[in-house]
């Protein structure tokens, strides 16, 4: 956390600090150029299916290319942990770290959710966010983060020495095992760092530690996505409820979440094509 200092300051300190920040991955070349089309297409959406995610549990759902899906608060303030996979290849999954490097700590409309190596393509684009008014608060907090990993039983065991089976990692693993008939060992390995939907988070100003606050989400709020390939989603209703006090416990008040999928006539998509996997020459310089 860089709060314990043991080394001496160098004599040339002034020459070593104060450099201007440079954005590591300028994203102008991958800006969502179809957002205007997608916003127009939203006027013609037809609901296909909906699923209720029980509190402290998870479910999977399928979305085909060209469809939209929404994650919605329905009974009370509740955050959710979202995993995304290529429906036909579960090894291709959401890469939160690279998405964070490209778009920043929190996502909203127009941002894409990129997949893991060696694919590195957009799995989905966020098309609507009823919480985009929140922006960033005075503590640097915002909603829909890609900085937290997911609450998990291993960290819970490390910090409290308790075995707890309803962390989001466990919920997502359980859903893959039960609903997609995936072996436990495999399921746990492909569950990955999430998009923390509705969660209000940031880094503290002093120690730069990950913090959470009570989410501003209320019933009727939703986050909407456009599927850029065929997707398998998995969503956990976090055991922290609105994450205003704690997570990974049975103490917080929790509510269900709703996932709905929506179709639209392809004519409104103006021939938008599925996203393409990376065309990088994969020899990595090895002869």
CB burial of 249-258 (b: ≥16 within 10 Å; e: otherwise) equals: beebebbbbb
| Whole-number pLDDT of residue 287 | 79
pLDDT of residue 183: 98
Per-residue confidence (pLDDT) for residue 2, from 0 to 100: 80
Instruction: Identify the pLDDT of residue 137.
Output: 97
- Which pLDDT value is given to residue 246? 87
**What tens digit of pLDDT does each residue of 225-242 get?**
999 999 999 999 999 999
What is residue 285's predicted lDDT score, i.e. its pLDDT?
93
Considering only 5-9, 33-37, 216-220, which range has the smallest mean pLDDT?
Answer: 5-9
pLDDT over 90 (residue 4): no
Contact in structure between 225 and 231 (CB atoms under 8 Å): no
Mean pLDDT across the chain, nearest whole number?
Answer: 96
**69-86: average pLDDT:** 98
| pLDDT for the residue numbered 126 | 98
Structure tokens belonging to residue 8 = 């001496």
Beta bridge partners of 59: 235
Q: Are 144 and 223 in contact (CB under 8 A)?
A: yes
Provide the Cα torsion 126, 127, 129, 130; round to 10°.
-160
Separation between Cα atoms, residue 63 and residue 87, nearest integer Å: 8
Residue 248 pLDDT grade (very low, low, confident, very high; cuts 50, 70, 90): confident
Which pLDDT score is estimated for 180?
A: 97
Q: What is the pLDDT of residue 128?
A: 98
Q: What is the pLDDT of residue 3?
A: 82
pLDDT bin (cut points 50, 70, 90) of residue 5 is confident
Q: Global pTM?
A: 0.96
Residue 87: pLDDT above 90? yes
Q: How far apart are CA 197 and CA 200, in angstroms?
A: 9
**Tens digit of each residue's pLDDT (9 = 90 or more) over 37-60:** 999 999 999 999 999 999 999 999
List, for residues 127-177, the tens digit of each pLDDT value. 999 999 999 999 999 999 999 999 999 999 999 999 999 999 999 999 999
Residues of the chain with pLDDT > 90, as a percent, come to: 95
Please report the beta strands in 76-141, taking only residues with DSSP state E, as ranges in sequence order: 80-86, 89-93, 112-114, 122-129
Output the pLDDT for position 16. Answer: 94
> CB-hemisphere CA count at 13 Å for 173?
18
pLDDT surpassing 90 at residue 1: no
pLDDT at residue 212, rounded to an integer: 97
């Amino acid at each position: 956390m860089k709060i314990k200092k043991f080394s001496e300051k160098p004599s040339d300190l002034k020459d070593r600090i104060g450099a201007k920040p440079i954005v590591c991955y300028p994203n102008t070349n991958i800006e969502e150029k179809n957002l205007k089309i997608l916003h127009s297409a939203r006027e013609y959406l037809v609901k296909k299916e909906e699923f209720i995610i029980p509190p402290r549990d998870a479910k999977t759902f399928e979305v085909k290319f060209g469809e939209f899906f929404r994650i919605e608060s329905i009974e009370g303030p509740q955050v959710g942990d979202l995993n995304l996979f290529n429906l036909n290849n579960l090894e291709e999954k959401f890469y939160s770290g690279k998405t964070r490097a490209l778009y920043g700590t929190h996502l909203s409309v127009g941002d894409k959710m990129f997949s893991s190596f060696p694919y590195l393509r957009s799995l989905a684009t966020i098309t609507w966010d009823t919480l985009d008014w929140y922006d960033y608060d005075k503590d640097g907090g915002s909603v829909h983060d890609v900085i937290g990993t997911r609450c998990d039983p291993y960290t819970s065991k490390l910090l409290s020495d308790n075995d707890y089976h309803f962390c989001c990692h466990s919920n997502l693993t359980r859903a893959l095992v039960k609903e997609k008939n995936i072996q436990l060992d495999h399921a746990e390995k492909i569950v990955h760092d999430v998009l923390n939907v509705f969660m209000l988070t940031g880094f503290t100003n002093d120690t730069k530690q990950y913090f959470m606050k009570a989410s501003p989400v209320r019933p009727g709020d939703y986050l909407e996505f456009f599927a850029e390939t065929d997707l398998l989603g998995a969503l956990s209703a976090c055991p922290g409820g609105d994450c205003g006090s704690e997570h990974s416990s049975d103490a917080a008040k929790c509510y269900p979440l709703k996932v709905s999928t929506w179709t639209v006539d392809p004519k409104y998509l103006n021939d938008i094509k599925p996203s393409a996997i990376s065309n990088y020459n994969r020899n990595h310089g090895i002869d």
